[in-house]
Amino acid sequence: MKKLLILNGSHSEIPLIKSAKKLGFYVITTGNAADLIGHAYSDEYHLADFSNLKEILDLSIRLKIDAICSCANDFGAITASYVAEKLSLPGHDTYENTLILHHKDLFKNFALKNRIPTPFAKGFNNYKEALSAIEEFTFPLIVKPVDLTGGKGISRVFSKNDYEKSICLAFSKSPKKRIVVEEFVKGSQHSFSAFIYKEKVVFFFSDNEYSYMNSNLVSTSAAPSTNIKNVSESLLNAIEKIAILLSLADGIFHIQYLYQNGEAKIIEITRRCSGDLYPYPVSKATGYDWAEVIVRAETGMINSDFSRLEQNGFCGRHCIMCSKNGILKTVIINDYILDSIYDKIVWWEKGDIIDNYMVQKLGILCLEYQSMDEMIEKTEKINELVKVIVE
C-alpha cells in the first residue's frame, strides 16, 4: 500500500484524509499538535512541525513516503513543494514558484510586473524602509505579514499614527520578518477555486465570503458568488496567464478577490486545499468529491475527465464562533436554519473556555439552500440564527 503524508490533522484536513484512504493510500499525518481531531482519521501520526522544511524532509525519507499532500495552510503548501522537489515526488510546483505564489510580497511583485489585476502594494524587509515609505501610499491601507494566513498580524490603517504600530505588529508576527503594505480596496470579498490542467482552467467554483467579529478572518461562505458572471472571464485569463508564465503543475488554484465597480482585484492566491471543510460545499455543488480531486492532483493520479465538474445549486459553510470571551454555555441553532444543514463537525463542549473569540472556532456547519434569495437572506443573518451563549 502506498504511503501518503498529509501535513496536518486539524478538522480542515479530514476531507483530504478520508478521500486519500478511499483512494487506497496508507495515510500518515503530522503537525506539532497531537490532539487535533483529524489525526483520529489517519492510519499513523508523527509529531513534527509542518512548517519546518528539514524536519518534514527527514521524516519523509525515514517513512519512505510515496507522495505528499499539503494541509489547509500556506506553510503546508510550501513544505510539500520543497519535499516533492527534493524527493522527485509528483503533483507539486517547484519550490521557487510556490514561494512566488504564497509569499505576499513576491506575489505582488510578480502580479504588478505581469499586469495581473491586484491592489497596488509594496513589500519591505526592514522597519526603517517601511516607515520612510509612508508618503508613497494613500490611506487607508492594509499592512500584512507576507507569510501568514487567517488574518494573523493584519491591520487596517487609516492614519499615519496607526501606520507605525501596524508595521511593528506585522514584522513581529512574520516568521520571515517581511511585510507588505497594500492599498485598501473597499468592496465585497469572494473566492474563486479553479482546477488547472495543462495550464488551462477546466473547472471553477465561486463564493461570497463573510466575516464575523474579526474582519480579517473569513467565517462564512455562500456559493455561487453574486458577481461571478461579471468577473469570471478576467479571473480565468489571470489564472491561465500565471499558469503559463510559471509552468504550473496540474491542480487546484484558489483565489481570494475583492469586487469593486464591476472588477475583481486578486488579493491572495493559494495552491492547496482551503480550510474549514471547504471541499464539502464544492462537492455538494458538483456531485464530485473535491477533496479527492485535490488528493489525486497532489499525488500524480489526475483523472483527466473533468466533464462532470460543474457548479450547481446554492450552498456554503459556517464556522461557529463567539462574540466575546468567557465560559461556553451552549450553542442555539434556530429552526429557520436547521433544515439547511446537511453536514457538520462540532467539537465544542459546555464549559469550554473561550479566551480568543476573534479566532476560536467551535465547529463547522455545511449548508444547502433552495434559491439564491434564501441563501443570501440566511447567510446575512447566520450569526443570529446560530447563536453562541457565553457567560
Do residue 9 and residue 90 come from a single domain? yes
pLDDT digits (tens, 9 = 90+) for 135-144: 899 999 999 9
CATH at 163: 3.30.1490.20
Q: What is the pLDDT of residue 161?
A: 87
Residue 251 belongs to some domain of the structure: no
48 in any annotated domain: yes
Here the cell at position 227 is 458577481
The x, y and z cell numbers of residue 206, run together, are 465561486
CATH of the domain at 349: 3.30.470.20
Identify the three-state secondary structure at position 136: helix
Residue 96 and residue 144 share a domain: no
Domain that holds residue 331: 315-391
Of the three residues 131, 151, 183, the one that is the final residue of a domain is: 183
- Report if pTM > 0.85: yes
Q: Residue 52 is part of a domain; what is its CATH number?
A: 3.40.50.20
CB 186 within 8 A of CB 260: yes
Q: How far apart are CA 381 and CA 127, in angstroms?
A: 41
Task: Please indicate, yes or no, if residue 264 is contained in any of the structural domains.
Answer: no
Find the Cα–Cα–Cα–Cα dihedral 267, 363, 215, 130, rounded to 10°. -60
Average pLDDT across the chain, whole number: 96
Domain count, the chain: 3
Contact 320, 386 (CB under 8 A): yes
pLDDT digits 0-9 by tens, 49-82:
999 999 999 999 999 999 999 999 999 999 999 9
Q: Which of 71, 100, 129 is the last residue of a domain?
A: 100
What crossing angle do the helices spanning 95-102 and 104-113 adopt, rounded to 10°? 90
* Any domain includes 247: no
Give the model's pLDDT for residue 303. Answer: 80
- Domain co-membership, 376 together with 344: yes
DSSP assignment string, 18-49:
HHHHHTT-EEEE-BS-TT-GGGGGSSEE--B-
Same domain membership, residue 13 and residue 79: yes
